Amino acid sequence: MDRIDGGTAGTSDQELPFGGIWWRADRYEILDGRIGPAQGAVLDTYDPWAAYARTRRAGSAVDGAPAPYAALLELAWRVQLTLPRAHEPVRLTPDCERRVLEWCASHGLLGILLQETEVAYYAARWRNAVLDDGGRVEGVLQPIRTTYTWTGSAWDIAGWAKREEPWSLPADPLRRVTRDDDDGIFEDQLVEPELLAGRWRPEVLGRRPEDAAYTTRMLGPAWGPFFPAVPPESRSTHEYPWPGGERWWMEYAEPVERFLEASGVLLDALTALEAGLDPNESWAVRHLGLPTRGQTLLHSLLQSVRPLLLRSSDGEWTGGWRTKSLLASYAMMAYLDILAGKRILSCDTCGKPYVSGAYQARYCSDRCRNTALKRAYRSRRREHSNGRPDADVPH
């Protein structure tokens, strides 16, 4: 979550006791194709919006003060240059692996699973139904399933609300046991699937990052690949940690391929916003003003940003938002920069993406500008020696 204050987003002083917080380990490693905290790594929190606020106060992403998402764009661009062909498995070069791990140590993981998930339904267990806020319980065991729902609320842990949903109140006599364990059923034991009569199953309601379309998947295939310590046979019945909490980040790892795909979605979104940049663009997009592929992708990522209305420390109402993932935070930062007149461009010399508010910007750095000038100078001399007019010198 971040606040909006006089047109400047972010706060470096943590004026609000919630929001803007992200987890990262001090060291990451890649094991079995997943990026996760290294053995013995220390987990800590930081505020990615604080760095963004500093770039805004300094006049935005110019002259050595790029917005935080710019580093991910550059990483995605560099790694894409070395990836194998589409039909081949992803294998990072040693240099690219080092870049990915260094980036993660500075920023954390992207939170792809959080980005994709709207509601997670865990496997039902035998538990007591809580009857009121005072903690009074019904006194018998019945099937109860845990659900986590993305609310975006500042009053839920990381914006996720937990609910213990009973099969029925009062408990269905056919799906209840007394507490003396005569039937060999104990509290927290998994409920046999056949007893649930097809009404419940462990599954995830999600949205695809590339188009925000809703999907329903079984819990095991959807979440299991992100938790390497969970055996494959237990992925559908495992009680995963509270989404976005500290334990979540200690156990969570992102498959390298998914990490690169997600960072590539942000890169594609921000470098294909303008009509005419996509070679596969339809006639309707080019001539009738329909959304470009970049706009569609960016809108999809922004679906994981929720507005909030908050009371500030001085009692005044203030606006803010909560983001579901680091990927969504970066999309929101780019959105704010675009509204402020900045553009995400590709360097004329090296092709690297960069953010600039300069109207005639063409190069990502002075080095690339000087390289272009030298090339133009050599070209001009060759044409001059051949009796041709001077070539234009880049500005």
Q: What is the pLDDT of residues 241-265, one digit of tens each?
A: 999 999 999 999 999 999 999 999 9
Instruction: Return the percentage of the chain with pLDDT > 90, whole number.
Output: 49
Answer yes or no: is 362 within a domain.
no
Contact 342, 360 (CB under 8 A): no
On whether both 108 and 81 belong to a single domain, the answer is: yes
Answer yes or no: is 342 within a domain.
yes
Band (pLDDT 50/70/90 cuts) for residue 1 is very low
Find the mean pLDDT for residues 92-101.
92
On whether both 130 and 231 belong to a single domain, the answer is: yes
Band (pLDDT 50/70/90 cuts) for residue 181 is low
Tell whether the model's pLDDT for residue 303 goes beyond 80: yes
Answer yes or no: is 300 within a domain.
yes
pLDDT at 105: 97
Does 373 or 162 have the greater pLDDT score?
Answer: 162
pLDDT at 356: 81
Answer yes or no: is 309 within a domain.
yes
Q: Cα separation of 162 and 242, whole Å? A: 8
Tell whether the model's pLDDT for residue 104 goes beyond 90: yes
Answer yes or no: is 369 within a domain.
no
Count the domains in the chain. 2
List, for residues 163-175, the tens digit of each pLDDT value. 999 999 998 988 8
Least-confidence region, from 59-68, 141-150, 264-273: 59-68
pLDDT at 61: 42
On whether both 66 and 95 belong to a single domain, the answer is: yes
End-of-domain residue from the set 245, 269, 294: 245
Band (pLDDT 50/70/90 cuts) for residue 4 is very low
Segment of 4-8, 309-313, 315-319, 358-362 carrying the highest mean pLDDT: 315-319
On whether both 118 and 232 belong to a single domain, the answer is: yes
Segment of 176-180, 184-188, 245-249 carrying the highest mean pLDDT: 245-249
Structural domain of 63: 2-113+256-350
Instruction: Return the percentage of the chain with pLDDT > 70, whole number.
Output: 83
Does 363 or 216 have the greater pLDDT score?
Answer: 216
- Kindly report the pTM of this predicted structure: 0.85
pLDDT at 390: 52
On whether both 119 and 66 belong to a single domain, the answer is: no
On whether both 165 and 90 belong to a single domain, the answer is: no
On whether both 212 and 124 belong to a single domain, the answer is: yes
Token pair, residue 366, equals 């002075």
Find the mean pLDDT for residues 176-201.
84
Answer yes or no: is 25 within a domain.
yes
The mean pLDDT value of the chain amounts to: 84
Least-confidence region, from 62-76, 170-184, 312-326, 380-394: 380-394
End-of-domain residue from the set 189, 224, 245: 245
List, for residues 107-143, the tens digit of each pLDDT value. 999 999 999 999 999 999 999 998 888 878 888 999 9
Contact 105, 26 (CB under 8 A): yes
Answer yes or no: is 281 within a domain.
yes
Contact 130, 142 (CB under 8 A): no
On whether both 262 and 221 belong to a single domain, the answer is: no
On whether both 46 and 13 belong to a single domain, the answer is: yes
Tell whether the model's pLDDT for residue 284 goes beyond 70: no
On whether both 40 and 72 belong to a single domain, the answer is: yes
pLDDT at 87: 63
pLDDT at 247: 95
List, for residues 220-243, the tens digit of each pLDDT value. 999 999 999 999 999 999 999 999
Contact 38, 28 (CB under 8 A): yes
pLDDT at 360: 74
pLDDT at 275: 74
On whether both 101 and 200 belong to a single domain, the answer is: no
List, for residues 7-59, the tens digit of each pLDDT value. 333 333 343 334 568 999 999 999 999 999 999 999 999 999 888 888 777 65
Tell whether the model's pLDDT for residue 161 goes beyond 70: yes
pLDDT at 352: 81
Does 363 or 134 have the greater pLDDT score?
Answer: 134
Answer yes or no: is 393 within a domain.
no
Q: Cα separation of 284 and 136, whole Å? A: 61
On whether both 68 and 103 belong to a single domain, the answer is: yes
